Amino acid sequence: MSENMLNVENLVIHYETDEEVVEAVNNISFRLKKGEVLGLVGETGAGKTTTALGIMGLLPPKVGHVIQGKIELDGENLFDKSEREMRNIRGKKISMIFQDPMTALNPVKTVGEQIAEVVLLHSRCSKVEALKRAQDMLAMVGIVPERYKDYPHQFSGGMKQRIVIAIALACEPELLIADEPTTALDVTIQAQILDMMRSLQKKQGTSMILITHDLGVVAEMCDHCAVMYAGELVEYGTVEEIFDNPKHPYTKALYQSIPSLDKDVDRLHVVPGMVTDPSNLPEYCSFADRCEAKCDLCEKADPKMIRLNEEHCVKCLQYTKEWEGKINE
Amino acid sequence: MLKYIVKRILYLIPILFGVSIIIFGLKTFTPGDPARQILGNSASEAQVQEKREELGLNDPVPVQYFNYVKGIVTEGDFGVSYRTGKPVLEEIAPRLLTSAKITLGAVLIGAVIGVLLGIISALKKYTWVDSGVLVISMFFQSVPEFVVALVLIMIFAVNLHILPANGIESWTGYIMPMLCIGLSSVASYTRITRSSMLEVLGEDYIRTARAKGQSEKNITYHHALRNAMIPVAQSVGTSLGNTIGGGMVLETVFGVPGVGKYIVDSIAQRNYPSVLGGALIIAIVLTLINLLVDVSFVLIDPRLKTTIISGGKTKKKKMKKINAAA
């Protein structure tokens, strides 16, 4: 038993098709302690979901490849596991909540069956006991247990997401990956779902990775925050550090693009340019083309992750000695 | 649910009216005298006239039609065959049964083989297995049924002597017609199953099932298959109907006394009561089969239950509410 629930080291994931190779995740490393919540932030296409699928071992077959790195769950490397062992881990030790609750449930099975399925797979119990557990789970996520006989189409979007959460938590996983759990829901329901997830996470002591592009959600829910850009981790630290003292130009730009109640502005700040094409990444810093603080150095070298203090790392040349030399020149 | 079934059965009334009026019109406006047809050229004009009176052919057309419909509604009398003098219903019933047996067998063969091949090619997509399945099923679809029939007769009746070439004296007589119709429909089931299976396997809920730790085998059979079967079941429904009344060519090749051949023969003989009765009875059977198929969908897809029970009215009611609120 190690103190880290999850340890991702130098993970590289490519999507390979006949036409091109998409470098979806580039050399990312992070750790997650037991009971902690890590927020994974970044814009669409930054590789957040790919990282999650990599941890689950659910990358699309034939196309998605782990090129290098390791993922350790509780000290055991997941890439050494057989498919059968991975099946025992999925749903039992690691669970995942998907983005769109509307399509995440099988329309021809009752919700009770769908929750009971995961219970039956991972614990030795009878069908009746599994259904009982399913009803308990429904009650836990705030749905009348008697509705276990209903089909997904008889529930609203928010309730479907509650059911998806019930499935994910039914076997009391040690690690929960929530991939934009509230993106498809309207704002009032979002708060309810997040509140519920947080209280359940506290209650079960689950470690959690929360994937989102909503910085407000991160501030509310997370202990640590990792900012991803073009498949790389560009900044990592405690939520306090990242929010009070953002270092990477991309993180700063993200904050500036949040509307503020205090300041009266006509236009929000926009990060100029398009997301870097992950099938054609530059040799140098992948954010350089959109960066407001860049200099010649940025187009020559790809920066390494720099540890600023105990709680804060950033991947930017601004915080290196070379930069200081350049400025002093 | 009951309300829905009753409603669907009531739909039969306009359908049957339409069918009967069209065929009655055909009977009335086609040249040639059925009475002369029955009695032959040697009969005298007086005899023919007497026969016309007996058959009610001298009444005005609306009266003839009214009497015909009255006969069906009050006594279940679909008229009497000109050729044999027997009630049409009595003549058609055993033939319909024969056609129904062959159809059921054929659809079963076609659907079972087609669905299995479809699943295989979906799971092995873009491999040589997939292409092989496609080629074989396309082959049976492109070759006309009667050619397949003749080849089957050559092999099983002429050379191997294990199946009768003609007639349905014993159950072995059913095998070749069933096989023949069944094989020709394999391709369409294969393709429907393959594409709907591929679509379903890409759905989010399949990923959810994988995330639960479910095995690929269980995902295919417990999660994907039932969802993928919805379009297949729809296609089974249509082909049941088409095959019952449309098996004329094969019924001729295999010498099977089926309902398709009966009606075509009756048309050639200007045996109008048989044509009319046959068409009406087939219309009734088809409507009932379609109803049965639609109701059985509920067993596959629970989402339909809500629409069927409410008879699709929920939307209208909701719209009304919205309009009222506005």
β partners of residue A152 = none
CB contact under 8 A, A108 and B300: yes
Does residue A17 contact residue A2 with C-beta atoms inside 8 Å? Answer: no
pLDDT band at A328; cut points 50, 70, 90: low
CB contact under 8 A, B204 and A117: no
Q: How far is CA A210 from CA A1, A51, A160, in A?
A: 23, 12, 19
To the nearest whole angstrom, how far is the Cα of A148 from the nearest Cα of chain B?
Answer: 14
- The verdict on A107 touching B (C-beta cutoff 8 Å) is yes
Q: What is the pLDDT along chain B (326 residues), one digit of tens a residue?
A: 778 788 888 888 888 888 888 878 877 787 777 777 777 778 788 888 888 888 777 788 888 888 888 888 888 788 888 788 888 888 888 988 888 888 889 999 999 999 999 999 999 888 899 999 988 888 888 888 888 888 888 998 889 888 887 777 788 888 888 888 888 888 889 999 999 999 999 899 999 999 999 998 999 988 999 889 888 888 888 888 778 777 778 888 888 888 888 888 888 887 888 888 888 888 888 888 888 887 877 777 888 776 665 544 444 444 455 455 44
Q: What is the pLDDT of residue B33?
A: 76
> For residue A3, what are the contacts with CB-CB under 8 A and spacing of at least 6?
A33, A34
Residue A38, both tokens? 């890590």
Q: What is the pLDDT of residue B158?
A: 87
Distance between CA atoms of A102 and A177, rounded to whole angstroms? Answer: 18
> For residue A41, what are the contacts with CB-CB under 8 A and spacing of at least 6?
A48, A212, A213, A215, A218, A225, A226, A227, A228, A254
User: Which chain A residue has its CA at the smallest distance from B212's CA?
Assistant: A91
User: What b/e sequence results for A135-172 when a residue is b if at least 16 CB atoms lie within 10 Å of its CB, and e otherwise?
Assistant: bebbebbebeeebbebbbbbbeebbbbbbbbbbbbbbb
- The verdict on A92 touching B (C-beta cutoff 8 Å) is yes
Residue A193 main-chain phi, psi, to 5 deg: -65, -45
Q: Is residue A109 part of a domain?
A: no
DSSP-derived pairing of the beta strands A37-41 and A207-212: parallel
Distance between CA atoms of A39 and A21, rounded to whole angstroms? Answer: 27
Enclosing domain of residue A317: 4-93+173-328
Which residues 274-313 in chain B show a CB within 8 A of chain A?
300-303, 306
Q: Is residue A124 part of a domain?
A: no
Number of CB atoms found within 10 A of residue B4's CB? 18
CB contact under 8 A, B208 and A167: yes
Residues of B in contact with A89 (CB under 8 A): 213
Residues of B in contact with A113 (CB under 8 A): none
Distance between CA atoms of A194 and A181, rounded to whole angstroms? Answer: 8
- The verdict on A149 touching B (C-beta cutoff 8 Å) is no
Does residue B238 contact residue B192 with C-beta atoms inside 8 Å? Answer: no
- The verdict on B199 touching A (C-beta cutoff 8 Å) is no
Determine the distance from the C-alpha atom of residue B175 to the mean position of all C-alpha atoms in its chain, rounded to a whole number: 19
Distance between CA atoms of B95 and A301, rounded to whole angstroms? Answer: 85
Q: Is residue A138 part of a domain?
A: no
Burial of A178 (0-12, 13-18, 19+ CB in 10 A): buried
Q: What is the DSSP letter of A90?
A: B
Distance between CA atoms of A56 and A11, rounded to whole angstroms? Answer: 13
Distance between CA atoms of A230 and A23, rounded to whole angstroms? Answer: 8
Does residue A303 contact residue A317 with C-beta atoms inside 8 Å? Answer: yes
Q: Is residue A300 part of a domain?
A: yes
Residues of B in contact with A167 (CB under 8 A): 208, 212
Number of domains chain A contains: 1
Distance between CA atoms of A248 and A291, rounded to whole angstroms? Answer: 10
When CB atoms are compared, the residue of A87, A96, A107 closest to B227 is A107
β partners of residue A38 = A209, A224
CB contact under 8 A, B204 and A109: no
When CB atoms are compared, the residue of A56, A92, A151 closest to B302 is A151
CATH number at residue A50: 3.40.50.300
**Test mutation, A63, A106, A115, chain B, max B CBs within 10 A:** A106
Distance between CA atoms of A294 and B18, rounded to whole angstroms? Answer: 79
Distance between CA atoms of B215 and A146, rounded to whole angstroms? Answer: 29
Residues of A in contact with B314 (CB under 8 A): none
Task: Kindly list the domain boundaries of chain B, sorted by start residue.
Answer: 94-266
Q: Is residue A151 part of a domain?
A: no
Kindly write down the DSSP assignment for every residue of B76-96, as one continuous string.
Answer: ----B-TTT-SBHHHHHHHHH
Residue A291 has pLDDT above 70, yes or no: yes
**Test mutation, A108, A122, A167, chain B, max B CBs within 10 A:** A108
Torsion of CA B141, B145, B150, B152, to 10 degrees: 60
- The verdict on B318 touching A (C-beta cutoff 8 Å) is no
Residue B325: what residue type? A
Residues of B in contact with A91 (CB under 8 A): 211-214
Q: Is residue A46 part of a domain?
A: yes
pLDDT band at A2; cut points 50, 70, 90: low
- The verdict on B191 touching A (C-beta cutoff 8 Å) is no
Determine the distance from the C-alpha atom of residue B234 to the mean position of all C-alpha atoms in its chain, rounded to a whole number: 12
pLDDT band at A74; cut points 50, 70, 90: confident
Q: How far is CA A292 from CA A253, A287, A295, A299, in A?
A: 9, 10, 9, 13
Residue A329 has pLDDT above 60, yes or no: no
Q: What is the pLDDT of residue B313?
A: 46
Residue B191, both tokens? 């393709």
ipTM comes to 0.85
Q: pLDDT tens, A240-254?
A: 989 888 888 888 888
Residues of A in contact with B211 (CB under 8 A): 56, 58, 90-91, 95-96, 98, 168
CB contact under 8 A, A98 and B302: no
Does residue B81 contact residue B89 with C-beta atoms inside 8 Å? Answer: no
**Test mutation, B205, B219, B223, B308, chain A, max A CBs within 10 A:** B205
- The verdict on B7 touching A (C-beta cutoff 8 Å) is no
β partners of residue A313 = A236, A307
Three-state DSSP state, A186: coil
CB contact under 8 A, B213 and A91: yes
Which residues 47-76 in chain A show a CB within 8 A of chain B?
56, 58
Q: pLDDT tens, A9-67?
A: 999 999 998 888 888 898 899 989 988 999 999 888 888 999 999 999 988 888 889 99
When CB atoms are compared, the residue of A90, A105, A153 closest to B213 is A90
| CA-based nearest residue to A235, from A292, A318, A307, A299 | A307
Residue A238 main-chain phi, psi, to 5 deg: -70, 155
Does residue A243 contact residue A228 with C-beta atoms inside 8 Å? Answer: no
When CB atoms are compared, the residue of B204, B213, B226 closest to A108 is B226
**Beta carbon pairs, A and B, within 8 Å:** 70
Does residue A109 contact residue B221 with C-beta atoms inside 8 Å? Answer: no
CB contact under 8 A, B203 and A167: no
- The verdict on B215 touching A (C-beta cutoff 8 Å) is yes
Q: What is the pLDDT of residue B237?
A: 80
Q: What superfamily would CATH give domain B94-266?
A: MetI-like (1.10.3720.10)
User: Which chain B residue has its CA at the smallest distance from A52's CA?
Assistant: B211
Q: pLDDT tens, A181-218?
A: 888 778 888 888 888 888 888 888 899 999 988 888 89
Distance between CA atoms of B207 and B50, rounded to whole angstroms? Answer: 78
Distance between CA atoms of A59 and A132, rounded to whole angstroms? Answer: 33
> For residue A316, what are the contacts with CB-CB under 8 A and spacing of at least 6?
A234, A247, A248, A249, A285, A303, A306
CB contact under 8 A, A103 and B210: no
Q: How far is CA A296 from CA A291, A299, A317, A318, in A?
A: 12, 6, 11, 12
Strand ranges in chain A using DSSP code E only, listed in sequence order: 4-16, 21-33, 37-41, 64-73, 76-77, 94-97, 175-179, 207-212, 224-229, 232-238, 306-309, 312-314
| CA-based nearest residue to A56, from B212, B122, B56, B44 | B212
User: What b/e sequence results for A64-94 when a residue is b if at least 16 CB atoms lie within 10 Å of its CB, and e otherwise?
Assistant: bebeebebbbbeeebeeeeeeebbebbbbbb
Residues of B in contact with A118 (CB under 8 A): 212-213
Distance between CA atoms of B270 and B136, rounded to whole angstroms? Answer: 42
| CA-based nearest residue to B29, from B61, B72, B54 | B61
